[in-house]
Each structure stands twice: as C-alpha cells, then as structure tokens.
Structure 1
C-alpha cells in the first residue's frame, strides 16, 4: 500500500489515525539512533532512511537515480512494516535480532528477508529497533551493500 505524497509529514497525515502515533514513535526512535550521514525522506512510497547521493553518488543499483535505501517504515493494509536492508545482507545481524526479539516483545516475530510486520501495534519493540538502527554506520552499510550485492 503505497501512499503517493512528497513529504514525510504528508505521509503521516494520510495514514489511519490509529497508526499515526506508532509511525511517529518508530520515526523518532530510528532518527535518534541512526549514525550520522543517513537522511530521512520519502522512499518507495514509505518513510525512508537513505544514504544520500552526496555520500554515495552511485545510488541504488536497481534505480541509480534513487539514493541507497537502508531503513523504511510504512503503514501497510494490515500491519506496520519496518524494512531494514542490512538484515537481508548480514546474517549475523539477523541472528542477533531474532535472538533478542523475544526479550522485547510477546508477539510472534513476523519477519521476511528484510521486512518485519507488526500486526499488534502495542507489541512493537521500540528499544530493540533503536539498538538495531545503531548497529551500522553509513560507511559500513556502503561496504556491506557493495560486497553482498556485487556492486563495484
């Protein structure tokens, strides 16, 4: 469910009322914990945290005119989603997250390669998501991205 807007504020205004507080809380915890260099912007119809072209001119290999994505948050039809590209690229980080999750939430972890789906909005592990956001710098993400996705 993509919302066609230009700004994060417009996005938040368009989502269902019961999700606004959750999205704003996720946005705050991510923004407070991301290492310097990532930038918040609309990305793929979601709130995105990206490596701007000023730091990585190549952009995203699938669409080079777009900056390199890192984290996205979205209000989907039946859940709130958090996409974290480094979970997809880094198995040890995925293992860490999966092992830590039960310590922070009673809800069953619903996760794909890089997408976490939160259907129980009162069970989102905000503190754990903050820790996850801190785990990698822009420079480390670029290096991992290029190695894992064969970018030269």
Structure 2
C-alpha cells in the first residue's frame, strides 16, 4: 500500500479497517517505548522513527538531508511490516529477537534482513515489540550505524 499521507494520523486513517487497530497499537508502543531522542516522521509512505539532525547532523549517508532512519512501520498489501535497522546492523540484538520470538508468538517468524512481516494482525507479539523498542538508544544506534558505515567503506 503506497501512501502520500503527510501525517501519521492521515496515514492511519487510510489503512484498511482490519489492520488499523494493530497499526495504531504499534504506533503507540513505539512512541511509548523508544528511548528519548527518536522522532516520529512520515517518509517513504510509512511511519518512521528517526534520529533527528539535532542529534546526528550527518543524517542518512544515502541522503544526508534525511534524518537517520531507525524503525519504519507500514501496512503493505499482504502484511504489516516493521523495519528495524538496528537489528539489521547489530547481530546481538537480532539473536536476542530471534530467540525471544517463539516465546511470544505461535506463528513462525517471517523476517528478512531488517523486515519483520506480520500476515495476521491479531498474531503480532506486541509485548515482544515493546521490549525490542527499548533495546537501543539513539546514541547506541549512531555508534552501530557509524561502525557499519566505516566497515562498508573499507
């Protein structure tokens, strides 16, 4: 689902009814459990939680005018997706999440490099996502991001 919504509220209003409550709950969880410093934005037709330029003036290396992305949430055609760049870059965090997932969900983990796909909104492990949201501060994400960026340039 592609969206041109300018605000999170507009975006949520566009989402099909059967997914809206789950998306609103994900938004609430992220806003409540992400450490201070992350900001909510709309970008790429989805909800984004970023490290703003006020904390990381360099911005995103692909486009320094953009804030450093961290987590995005989208209602796609066949699933709800949560993109977590921290798990993509931090093997320890990824290992924690993969090992915890079966304790919180009866469904098989459907995950790409940074994308967790939830085909059934009522099967989203919200308690686990609350924990995940609080695992990395903006400062830690900047450290991980910069170390990954430096390694890729060698």
| Contact 1:107/1:120 (<8 A) preserved | no
For residues 75 and 25 of structure 1, the distance between their equivalents in structure 2, rounded to whole angstroms, comes to: 13
Report how far residue 57 of structure 1 moved: 1.1
For residues 16 and 120 of structure 1, the distance between their equivalents in structure 2, rounded to whole angstroms, comes to: 13
Q: 2:16 corresponds to which residue?
A: 16
Root mean square deviation of aligned Cα:
1.3
Report how far residue 63 of structure 1 moved: 1.3
**TM-score scaled by length of structure 2:** 0.95
Report how far residue 149 of structure 1 moved: 1.8
For residues 149 and 44 of structure 1, the distance between their equivalents in structure 2, rounded to whole angstroms, comes to: 22
Report how far residue 2 of structure 1 moved: 2.4
**TM-score scaled by length of structure 1:** 0.96
Q: 2:130 corresponds to which residue?
A: 130
Query: Where do 1:1-152 residues align within 5 Å?
Result: 1-150=1-150
Unaligned runs of 5+ in 1: none
| Partner-residue secondary structure (3-state), 1:47 | strand
Unaligned runs of 5+ in 2: none
